[in-house]
Amino acid sequence: MIQSAKILRNTILIPIFLFQACIPSLSKGILQSVTDFIQLRTLVNPAPTGPYYVSATVSGLLGSGLVLDLNSGTESIVVNANGSFDFKTALSTGNNFNVTVNTQPTLPAQICSVSGGMGVVAYGNINSIIVNCDPLRYTVGGTITGLDGITGLVLTNSVDGSTLNVAVASGSFAFTQTYLDGTTYNVSVTTQPNHPVQNCITTNGAGTIAGANITNIAIACTSTAFPIEVTAVGIASGTLSIRNNNSELLTISTNGLHRFPTNIITNNTYSLQIVGTPANHNCVLSATGGTVTSTISITANCFSVLSFSPSNGGILQPTESLKLQFSAEINAGSCIGSTGTLNTVMSLPIQFAVSTTSITNDTLIVSPAATDSWQTGHKILTLNCNSVSGHPLSSTVNLLYLIPSNIRYVSNSGNDLNNGLTPTTPKRNIQLAIDDFGGCATGDCAVLVEDGSYDPAYTGGAIHLVSGISLYGGYQPTTSFSVWRPNLHGSVILMDTTPPGCSVATITSPCASIIGDATVTSNVTISGFRIQAGPDIAPFMAGVFLDSTNNVRLINNEIDGGVGTNGVAGVHAINSSPYLIQNVIVGGFCSAASCDSVGVYISTTVPITPIIFVNSISGGTPTGSGVTSRGIRYAGTAAMTVSNIIGNMITSKNLNKATSLFSIGFDINSGTGLTGTLAGNIITGGEGGTSIGLRVQSATTIQIGSPTQGNQITSSDALTGTYGLYLTGGQTVRRNVIKFGTAMSAAVATATGIYATGGGTQIIESNSVQDGNVSSTGATATLNGIYSANASAASSITGNYIRIGRSEGINSTATTTAGISLNTPQNALIANNWIQNGTSDVNARGLEFKSVFSGLRVYHNTVSSGTGVSNETPVFIGSGSSAIDIQNNILLLNNNSGSNACIYNAGVGLQAAIKFNVLFNCTSLVYQNALSYTNLCAGGIPSALGCLTPLGLAANFGDNLNLDPNFVLNFGVISVYTPTTATSCLITKSTNALLTDSYNGAGTRPGTDGAVSLGAVEYDQACTP
């Protein structure tokens, strides 16, 4: 029995899953502490804007009857003793306050004065007011301007150590201590404001009291970085997660104002992505990116439809009402503008009313007028509704229903002699109910099926679909077909025995429980079933077989391919565009050598555009030698557009690693005309002889991930090879999270995050590549974060985060761990990559270049060598390679020993340039032609034999630095390559401008100071001169 996957049940309201590359791409100057490879700091509570309260400290009072007023007598308090006294009037940010003495004390008579009593409330209680009644003591205070930070600021008088928290946006302040004449003071800002980040400068902060209150201390605040504020609306329950610049995470579980913990430096960019939404919600942001010049205010609209009754995509009876539960109170009147084809027989206005389910007025009831009814047919209602707060639905909601003109009923307790026309006279078998229509010219007929087991082979060997006749399973028995429970999949279509005709089934004509062919020319919906092919063996078996039709909609079913010999598939589509929404699909079981178990098999000789939304799709578990499990397999020769494959969990099963051939999550092994963008999916290859997350074996124009939305792609443990992505043609790969497993073998073994070969234009940008290990007990073991071969001159590998594991092989072999390995590239661009290389018992190389004979450009990377026993280097240049242009990189050697070097040139090839690089922790700065260049001589040129043998001329080999970059963490389990205030300004303020982009994002170089930072991260904060 298939176990139902926990997937969202909004059938047509497709949520957008933003599986973005989780890369520590930091806004310039933001320092992060890291728990894994990124920091996921969380701010749950919204920042306050009130209520705030005013308090005053009274000192030196001897008499009684002192009366203090707030805001010209709005509130008055009587004070008869020293201490702190609170006004009860609540104020908000931006309100004025003014504390004055209304009545002076008597017995004895005193003159009391107020210091710090007037100003504008910022973000906090006002407690910087003192009322001094002692004529021999004095106060220390002044004025403040420009305070916007919600955390306020802290002032310290270093003479006596007293501190003062100030929450006055503008106005006066005073310390709550008093001082004798002649006392010195020294006031400074010891904690600067945040949200926005401000720099508050003190003027006249130090001096000596000379018989008068000090009132001339001036605090002037200016903003240097601004917060990103997110106002959430429409969240009924659950958590919304938003990531900024692929780094910092904000989680929101309540409606209202929330802020990211870290502010963005002025004139830097921000980029927001939703990475998690509350269950059954869809959320959109009012803006997702831009340049920061002031506080960024964003609305996160999560106003959504949470549930549908009847379930979306099902049957709507002619007089039945729709009940839609929303995530916030609904304005029924706003829904009158909804559009679509859902109409009524008499054309009277559709009625919209509200009721309460969980939140007041959260449920919309849509119904025909009392004297009217719905018109029959496949209908769509596109909702146009607002919440009572005025926010529209966060995404387009299309309600798809069939209002049937003719119905047949089928029950497990029915009888095929019945006419099937009423709930009390149901038929027993589905095919006989279909046939009883004699066709459906209007295209709006339906067969309703109660829970129970139904043999598709009872008549004709399978259920043969007929154009315009839809099937709806899941009706609860004993309810007269009044209760539809499609999510339970209680109506089971299962072959009791495999039909005899299935013995000659082929891969182009498999044995199947349900068959739809070219005669299906109008819509047929199948929903609410569990569909499983035969329990007995046939050569090729499928749960559903689609042959030359684009009109079959499989919605919310469980589908199992059953048992086959040579091949089995849950859904088998030939020259058809599968329409799959919210199904759980499993390939099934096959037993022959080299058999293939596939969740969804697609082959076509005509262009197709499948619609595959929010499904759980898995290959099966074949046994025997050379077998394969695949989640989705495309084996066609014509164009397939992949843009409507969104929000799916696509996996292959774990197989016996010693006997299986492949376990591949998504396999595209033909079809040069493929096009579109594949995004928003979780794709996982299971264990096998070779494990692959996603494989594309032909040159196509498809993009794997978009500029704003990627996929999560994973491969598992394997015998000979594990690959997150395996590409044999030029593709664009961006913003994916790619993880790969461990390959262990006695023979050659390989583990690679992204494997790209076959030439063409390879665009690999802004991906996160992690994990991976490889071991061979008898041969070479190769571990690469990214491997690229024969890339064209237009190719680029930029802005990727790479952190990989360990390779172990025979010492005499070329066993290597490399962050990026390039073989025979043209003058491609390798830039802005953050590479924390792994370890090897032979070679560890952050960047590995082999057979390079053109102007390969290597700019602005931050690279560690990793740890190797034989050879260890951040940059390895294979023998004979030449003309490489290496500039503006930060290269870190993990172990400064032996012949290890920051740049290791294994041959005599001359490079185009090695300049403006930071070479850290390496005695041998450059190793070339068996000579170590250990000196950094005048002009920053690496040299050997003292300074007698420079590497080259200053124009091409100068301005290199041998400095500690002083990152947050240079080395460690998880390094953090972000500069700090201890980083040399020679590193963060270089004049060698090459690129306008950085690891931080597009358009972030140069910084606001007009300079560029060396390495991947552009940094614009304070540095060490």
- pLDDT score of 23 more than 80: no
Q: Name the region of 923 (left: φ>0; alpha: ψ -120 to 50; beta: rest).
A: alpha
Neighbouring CB atoms inside 10 A of 491's CB total: 29
Residue 794 belongs to some domain of the structure: no
**For 535-563, what is the mean pLDDT?**
95
Q: What is the pLDDT of residues 574-602, one digit of tens each?
A: 999 999 999 999 999 998 999 999 999 99
What does the pLDDT read at residue 290?
Answer: 83
What does the pLDDT read at residue 16?
Answer: 32
Evaluate whether 178 touches 139 at the Cβ level (below 8 Å): yes
User: Distance between CA atoms of 669 and 390, rounded to whole angstroms?
Assistant: 49
Evaluate whether 904 touches 874 at the Cβ level (below 8 Å): no
Residue 65 belongs to some domain of the structure: yes
Neighbouring CB atoms inside 10 A of 413's CB total: 10
Tokens of 630: 């695949």
Residue 49 belongs to some domain of the structure: no
**In terms of domains, do 190 and 320 share one?**
no
User: Distance between CA atoms of 630 and 688, rounded to whole angstroms?
Assistant: 11
Burial class (CB in 10 A: 0-12, 13-18, 19+), 116: buried
User: Distance between CA atoms of 500 and 497, rounded to whole angstroms?
Assistant: 9
Pairing of strands 511-516, 130-132: unpaired
**For 547-560, what is the mean pLDDT?**
97
Burial class (CB in 10 A: 0-12, 13-18, 19+), 125: middle
Residue 34 belongs to some domain of the structure: no
Residue 414 belongs to some domain of the structure: no
In the three-class reduction of DSSP (H, G, I as helix; E, B as strand; rest coil), residue 350 is classed as coil
- pLDDT score of 34 more than 70: no
**Which residues are CB-neighbours of 465 under 8 A, at least 6 positions away?**
434, 471, 514, 515, 516, 517, 520, 524, 526, 552
Dihedral of alpha carbons 706, 708, 709, 714, sign: positive
- pLDDT score of 665 more than 50: yes
**For 534-544, what is the mean pLDDT?**
91
Number of domains in the chain: 2
1018 secondary structure, DSSP code: -
Evaluate whether 903 touches 874 at the Cβ level (below 8 Å): yes
What does the pLDDT read at residue 31?
Answer: 22
CA distances from 721 to 275, 418, 733, 740, 951 (A): 30, 59, 21, 10, 40
CA distances from 443 to 469, 551, 811 (A): 7, 11, 70
Compute the C-alpha angle 852/857/859, nearest 5°: 135
Burial class (CB in 10 A: 0-12, 13-18, 19+), 763: buried
User: Distance between CA atoms of 505 and 157, rounded to whole angstroms?
Assistant: 90
Place of tokens 């006419």: 419
Last residue of one domain, picked from the residues 194, 227, 249: 194
Q: What is the pLDDT of residues 619-663, one digit of tens each?
A: 999 998 999 999 999 998 898 999 999 989 999 999 999 999 999
**For 822-839, what is the mean pLDDT?**
95
Evaluate whether 890 touches 847 at the Cβ level (below 8 Å): no
User: Distance between CA atoms of 360 and 354, rounded to whole angstroms?
Assistant: 9
Percent of the chain with pLDDT over 70: 95
Q: What is the pLDDT of residues 457-507, one digit of tens each?
A: 888 889 999 999 999 999 999 999 999 999 999 999 998 888 888 999 999
User: Distance between CA atoms of 27 and 266, rounded to whole angstroms?
Assistant: 10
User: Distance between CA atoms of 369 and 89, rounded to whole angstroms?
Assistant: 53
Place of tokens 């185009």: 912
What does the pLDDT read at residue 669?
Answer: 82
- pLDDT score of 410 more than 50: yes
Q: Quickly state the pLDDT bin for 671 (edges 50, 70, 90).
A: low
Evaluate whether 662 touches 688 at the Cβ level (below 8 Å): yes
The secondary structure of 917-946 as a DSSP string is -EEES-SEEEEETTEEE-EEETTTEEEETT
Parent domain of 170: 55-194
The larger pLDDT score, comparing residue 396 to residue 927, is at 927
- pLDDT score of 725 more than 50: yes
The secondary structure of 585-612 as a DSSP string is EE--EE-STT-EEEEEEEE-SS-B--EE
CATH of the domain at 350: 2.60.40.1220
- pLDDT score of 14 more than 50: no
User: Distance between CA atoms of 8 and 15, rounded to whole angstroms?
Assistant: 8
Q: Quickly state the pLDDT bin for 19 (edges 50, 70, 90).
A: very low
Residue 120 belongs to some domain of the structure: yes
The larger pLDDT score, comparing residue 537 to residue 57, is at 57
Q: What is the pLDDT of residues 751-769, one digit of tens each?
A: 999 999 988 899 999 999 9
User: Distance between CA atoms of 372 and 320, rounded to whole angstroms?
Assistant: 11
What does the pLDDT read at residue 35?
Answer: 21
**For 17-42, what is the mean pLDDT?**
26
Last residue of one domain, picked from the residues 384, 403, 422: 403
Place of tokens 């403006």: 916
What does the pLDDT read at residue 38?
Answer: 21
**For 241-253, what is the mean pLDDT?**
88
Name the average pLDDT for the chain: 91
- pLDDT score of 914 more than 90: yes
Residue 93 belongs to some domain of the structure: yes
- pLDDT score of 672 more than 70: no
CA distances from 864 to 421, 657, 841 (A): 74, 33, 16
What does the pLDDT read at residue 13?
Answer: 32
Neighbouring CB atoms inside 10 A of 74's CB total: 11
Residue 133 belongs to some domain of the structure: yes
- pLDDT score of 558 more than 80: yes
**For 522-538, what is the mean pLDDT?**
92
